[in-house]
Structure 1
Amino acid sequence: MRTKILLVTTVNWPSAARLAGAFANLGAMVEAVFPRGHVLRLCRYLSKAYRYRPLDGAASLSEAIVAAKPDRVIPCDDRALSLLLSLSEFSPLLETSLGPRGAYEVLTARAPSIAAAREIGVCAPLTLAVESRATLRDALYEVGLPCVMKADGSWGGGGVKFVSSFGEATRAYDELEGPPNRLRSLARAMMRGDAHFLLEARNPLPSRVNVQALVPGKPATSVFAAREGQVLAALHMDVLSWSGDTGPASLMARVDDPVMQIACEKIAKRFALNGLIGLDFMRDAQGAPHLIEVNPRATQICHLALNADLPAALLGALARDPVTTGRQIALFPQLLSAGILPHTIYQDIPYDDPAVLAEVAGALLPEAEALCEIGEFLRPDYAPPIHRKSA
């Protein structure tokens, strides 16, 4: 019997469509719950779609789970993870898919997750939760300046400030901690067509702010698939280029790093994790990786088949053929603004899902629209090839 995967996403990131393709190519039945207008609506790999309602998020996820009866649910963003964890009626499914609920009370909070990692011997910078504006000076004294300030509940590079003085830290704290302005939230809801901002306008809540010792260096990242606390497969990458100061990576280089591998194994074992997990690091001047953040959900590179295949490992299937034997990988859609790239860099463009490609790339990739006109891709009975490694 085919494994049924239910992808859960509340943010219009194309990585969810890439993950759908990866699981479908491995023989899984893939269904998804997502908001109106999400690029997943065009994904050729979905067997069924369910509507996510931002103003009634938990209920819409519950309805999708009841209807889909999945073997695993996979959150593709932090909000989706938070909503899933609120559905206590599905505890057995969530534990099979994610791990113990109690683990995520730690993993979804920045300071406790890093503290737990340090306790089990993972190299990570001191990270403290700031209880109030009055305790900010004490926290800064412990971690030192310059440092990084981060708000819980933020993602995609948002909610992060680099500060080098107490004055900067105070201003950053006020900005990160303060509840969103109601009028600004309403304006964002209208301009972006995202009803989540209506929730912020209706019930603006403060955020927990954390301070983290600064690790000068360059970012790196790991992703792994786990079952019952054991790492089944992992990928480790150095980040060569990214958007803004803290935005998503656009160019990565695959690395073999035993320290990052051990960190994955320790985190997975400590929290008895299941599913797909991401870890973010900073690599210092000596090349040592320091864990700076845990992302306990699927990230933008989980679909890639390289020297490891995370979706295959999670399904217990034979790995797909690697998409490239090269080290450097340009990520979609960020690569669209990178100009002409050397042929030695693998460009991770979803040519296999032309409607998704055309929606995201638009005029930046003229061949995308041409692919949509190829009848074979649009046939209802079209079955994508499954690439296997020989035994």
Structure 2
Amino acid sequence: MSSSSGGARPRVLLVSAYRWLHTVRAALAAREAGFDVALLAPVGHPVGTLSWVETVGSYSALRPAREVARVVSEERFDLVVPVDDLARAAAFDAYAHPALSAEGADTLRRSLGAPGTFPQRGNRYAVAQVAEANGVPTPSTRPVADDGELDAALAELGLPVVLKADGLMGGEGVRFARGSGEAHTALRTLRRQPRLRNVVGGFVRDDNPNYLRPFLRRPPRHVVVQPLVAGIEATMTAAAWQGELLGAVALQVVSAAYPGGPAAVVSTLEHPGMLDSARRLIAALGISGFCGLDFFLLPNGEPTLLELNSRATHTSHLAAESTGPLWGLLAERITGLAATPAPRTFATGQPIALFPQERLRDPGSTYVGTEREDVPVQASEVVDLIIEWSARPIPSLLGRAQRRLAARRPPRPPGPAGAAAVTT
């Protein structure tokens, strides 16, 4: 049981390293599940403009673990939820930071699960080993640090293969190779440290100081190689508590936002094999909070695990009819009160056009504007925010300076708990 008592609403801290819009959907789902929502994110994050969200700090690209440790030590939270890979790494690193208080350490253990498995959860090879040891089907995975190790792996696994690097997101960290030459080129590309012009260009283009961190710290890139698996893409978002699977939403990917990128259209699945794999891996790693699992469904229907994301993914807000809201399951475990029903649930096999991903992929999509599009019509403030941010141009240098000056002012406090801040 958490520190919530006396009927007080549980309080969640969302940690975000990027100004990604899926964090808006996570914030709304958390609020609808009964949480008071706080935010630790870069200056100018869209979630920070919502009247019912309390901004408690600014995510530091250069010292993120220290900032997470400071915030969770100074304030009370019942749950800390990272929403991207950098935020997840910062939350894990904060557990070992000297600025973390004993109370803050309790908060992170409650929110994230077993600290002893933190290093494994961000390492593709370690996750594959844990999966294999616990009966979770996964492709043969070999770590490769140089050309000699790659040649040995190719001799064992054969071709074609896929190479994956830790610390890179989406298609950036994945390369396919049908021949030995392609594989060696892919290895060099994945292990190559970012060039200064690319770092500066990314920072200027996206107004994102996270581009600077890997260049300044230059951490080693861990790369693995796997045989290329043919099958149907599927994904699962799960809610867990101290190694216990509370519930999960399984989805088949109908189309992606871009090749190798996140899903734009999905359909819900009932798949006992995926659920069993999630249960085994969550128990082995002692996971709390959210995690995402990516699979390929083989022609015989058997799932093979491709990847674990130990954070809230961009589908954490979805609720299947058989499971209910995942955020509600966590609130129920924290408070002991029955979960609040989700405003909308999806039946098995029902196509879901994710909002705004499908609109951004194809504004003329046949899903847009239909009941199959996942628009939170019960929260017009959120809909307006997402549409406005989706069309917003990259700010000018003057606009960025003004945004940072505005961030120096005291953060706006949230409205009263439970106040009607969105139109329903």
Provide closer, same or farther for how the CA distance between residues 180 and 206 of structure 1 changes in structure 2, counting only shifts above 3 A.
farther
Correspondence 1:332 to 2:361:
no
Q: From 162, 168, 179, give the equivalent of 1:154.
A: 168
In 1, distance between residues paired with 2:76 and 2:26?
19
Correspondence 1:209 to 2:234:
no
Asked whether the 8 Å contact 1:178–1:206 carries over to 2, the reply is no
In 2, distance between residues paired with 1:169 and 1:267?
30
Alpha-carbon displacement from aligned partner over 1:35-93 (angstroms, at most 9, x marks no partner): 02222122344134421121232222223223432111001011111111112234322
**1:348 CA drift (Å):** 1.4
| Larger RCO, structure (CA 8 Å, separation 6 or more) | 2
**Normalising by the residue count of structure 1, what TM-score does the alignment of the two structures yield?**
0.89
Asked whether the 8 Å contact 1:25–1:384 carries over to 2, the reply is no
In 1, distance between residues paired with 2:229 and 2:261?
17
In 1, distance between residues paired with 2:312 and 2:83?
5
**Structure 2, unaligned stretches of length 5 or more?**
1-7, 333-337, 394-413
Q: From 347, 351, 362, give the equivalent of 2:373.
A: 347
Alpha-carbon displacement from aligned partner over 1:269-315 (angstroms, at most 9, x marks no partner): 11121111110001122322110001111001111222221100011
1:368 corresponds to which residue? none
**1:380 CA drift (Å):** 5.7
Correspondence 1:320 to 2:321:
no
**1:125 CA drift (Å):** 0.5
In 2, distance between residues paired with 1:52 and 1:115?
32
**1:145 CA drift (Å):** 0.9
2:390 corresponds to which residue? 361
1:288 corresponds to which residue? 302
Provide closer, same or farther for how the CA distance between residues 30 and 169 of structure 1 changes in structure 2, counting only shifts above 3 A.
same
Alpha-carbon displacement from aligned partner over 1:200-254 (angstroms, at most 9, x marks no partner): 3333334111101211112100111111211111110100101333101000000
1:78 corresponds to which residue? 85
Q: Secondary structure at the match of 2:391?
A: helix
In 2, distance between residues paired with 1:279 and 1:70?
26
Q: 5 Å matches for 1:44-55?
A: 44-55=51-62
1:118 corresponds to which residue? 132
Asked whether the 8 Å contact 2:290–2:312 carries over to 1, the reply is yes
In 2, distance between residues paired with 1:115 and 1:82?
20
Asked whether the 8 Å contact 2:319–2:346 carries over to 1, the reply is no
Q: Secondary structure at the match of 1:224?
A: strand
Counterpart of 1:383, as a letter, is A
In 1, distance between residues paired with 2:423 and 2:317?
14
1:383 corresponds to which residue? 420
Counting aligned pairs with the same residue, the percent is: 30
Correspondence 1:91 to 2:105:
yes
How many residues are paired up?
A: 373
In 2, distance between residues paired with 1:257 and 1:61?
36
Asked whether the 8 Å contact 1:306–1:322 carries over to 2, the reply is no
Q: From 249, 267, 272, give the equivalent of 2:281.
A: 267
Asked whether the 8 Å contact 2:140–2:227 carries over to 1, the reply is yes
Asked whether the 8 Å contact 1:6–1:68 carries over to 2, the reply is no
**Normalising by the residue count of structure 2, what TM-score does the alignment of the two structures yield?**
0.82
CA-based RMSD of the aligned residues comes to 2.3
1:373 corresponds to which residue? none
1:375 corresponds to which residue? none
In 1, distance between residues paired with 2:189 and 2:289?
34
1:32 corresponds to which residue? 39
In 1, distance between residues paired with 2:297 and 2:172?
21
Q: Secondary structure at the match of 1:298?
A: coil
In 2, distance between residues paired with 1:355 and 1:198?
32
Asked whether the 8 Å contact 2:142–2:226 carries over to 1, the reply is yes
Counterpart of 2:46, as a letter, is V
**1:355 CA drift (Å):** 4.4
| Greater shift in the superposed pair: 59-68 or 87-96 | 59-68
Provide closer, same or farther for how the CA distance between residues 386 and 235 of structure 1 changes in structure 2, counting only shifts above 3 A.
farther
In 1, distance between residues paired with 2:235 and 2:37?
26
Q: 5 Å matches for 1:127-206?
A: 127-206=141-220
Alpha-carbon displacement from aligned partner over 1:148-202 (angstroms, at most 9, x marks no partner): 1000112233210011111000000000011111222122212221112223333
Alpha-carbon displacement from aligned partner over 1:330-352 (angstroms, at most 9, x marks no partner): 11221113323247762112441
Q: From 51, 54, 57, give the equivalent of 2:64.
A: 57
Asked whether the 8 Å contact 1:158–1:247 carries over to 2, the reply is no
| Greater shift in the superposed pair: 213-222 or 126-135 | 126-135
Q: Secondary structure at the match of 2:169?
A: coil
